[in-house]
Amino acid sequence: MKINLAVLAGDGIGPEIITQALETVKAVCSKYSHTLQFEYAPVGAAAIDACGNPYPDATHELCMNSDAVLFGAIGSPRYDNDPTAKVRPEQGLLAMRQKLGLYANIRPVTTFAELLHRSPLRRDLVENADFICIRELTGGIYFGRPQGRAEDGNTAYDTCVYTKTEIERIVRLAYQYAQKRRKSLTIVDKANVLATSRLWRQVAQEIEKEYPEVKTEYMFVDNAAMQIIQNPKRFDVLVTENMFGDILTDEASVITGSLGMLPSASIGIHTSVFEPIHGSYPQAAGKDIANPVATILSAALMFEYAFGLNAEANDIRNAVYQSLKAGIVTEDIVTDGKAYKTSEVGKWIAQQI
């Protein structure tokens, strides 16, 4: 198979972790005789520095002409600490989601036996926890209009907007994932308070009838936040709106013991983007200490979701599991012994493949 990738390294540790993920991709393509082509393009603060635009037209064109996008991270303290900045790196991420039609963020939450002791939750609560969070990405309060501040500066407002079409699209996708797993779907909303959530629940109840083999439950977001901590093993697939999903997926991510271990996929109308869930971690940039595993596992999701190459995806996951067993890990998850560099972990995993 011919695999054509857009590579958006981004900011902070992005270039370092992307390099190691690419080494893994190269190893898999070599093993299975796939033809790999890839091209880099700037995004985020790096793109602002280069041309003043966090998501340049040329970057978008490359993404549109690629089979998939491998993405690092966006964010810079130079902009975080400047409230007057008119252009921010994160605007590039929102623009990419909108222009590529990235309507669904898929975040698997999986625990690793070797890291259970690092979870903030008791071992018996998190052992064998395995669920997927599906977050709607292009609607809701992050994109709602009107948005702004009153002229006196003392009042600000944001608008949460959802259409039936947007809800149908993401809920159907969630049911498809539930069908392939343990046939259980939790729909998270705040229907007792919000009009948009009541529309979510109405639409979901209509679609629910089409999937009688899937057990469906409806849960308010505050209860879901509590249940993720109290009993994460109860979940199989969760689906929710943009802001709720943003918060719940970050909460769920700490169950595994390290943000550096969890991948994600953003499913798009035009192409899909595969990225680690963590940020740009600017304090570690250039030090060769960041954990590349989340990005490497995102490459596994890419082979699975973008190309339907399950054997290749499983080879990557197995190599990652072997690295954990062998103690070939970065400083964020080392327990005893040596902490390996970003590049050393990436090289070991690629060689294992």
Mean pLDDT of the chain: 94
**Which residue in the block uniquely carries the two structure tokens 């011919």?**
2
Instruction: Work out whether the CA dihedral 127, 182, 307, 38 comes out positive or negative.
Output: negative
Alpha-carbon distance 238 to 107, whole Å?
10
Which residue from 244, 246, 239 is spatially nearest to 194, judged by alpha carbons?
Answer: 244
Position 308 scores a pLDDT of 94
Hey, where are the domains in the chain?
1-107+264-353, 120-256
The answer on pLDDT for 84 being more than 80 is: no
Position 215 scores a pLDDT of 98
Position 257 scores a pLDDT of 80
The answer on pLDDT for 348 being more than 90 is: yes
pLDDT band at residue 221 using 50, 70 and 90 as cut-offs: very high
Structure token pair of residue 115:
């890291």
From 3.40.718.10, 2.60.120.10, 3.40.50.300, 3.40.640.10, which CATH number describes the 120-256 domain? 3.40.718.10
Sorted by sequence, the CB contacts under 8 Å of residue 75 that are 6+ apart come out as 11, 12, 44, 45, 89, 90, 279, 280, 282
pLDDT band at residue 143 using 50, 70 and 90 as cut-offs: confident
Catalytic machinery residues:
142, 190, 222, 246, 250
The answer on pLDDT for 144 being more than 80 is: yes
Position 149 scores a pLDDT of 87
Sorted by sequence, the CB contacts under 8 Å of residue 151 that are 6+ apart come out as none
Q: Do 1-107+264-353 and 120-256 show the same overall fold?
A: yes
Architecture (CATH level 2) of domain 1-107+264-353: 3-Layer(aba) Sandwich (3.40)
Q: How many CA atoms lie within 13 A of 213 on its CB side?
A: 9
Position 83 scores a pLDDT of 73
pLDDT band at residue 109 using 50, 70 and 90 as cut-offs: very high
Highest mean pLDDT: which of 70-79, 118-127, 162-171?
Answer: 162-171
Q: pLDDT tens digits for 229-279? A: 999 999 999 999 999 999 999 899 889 887 788 999 999 999 999 999 888
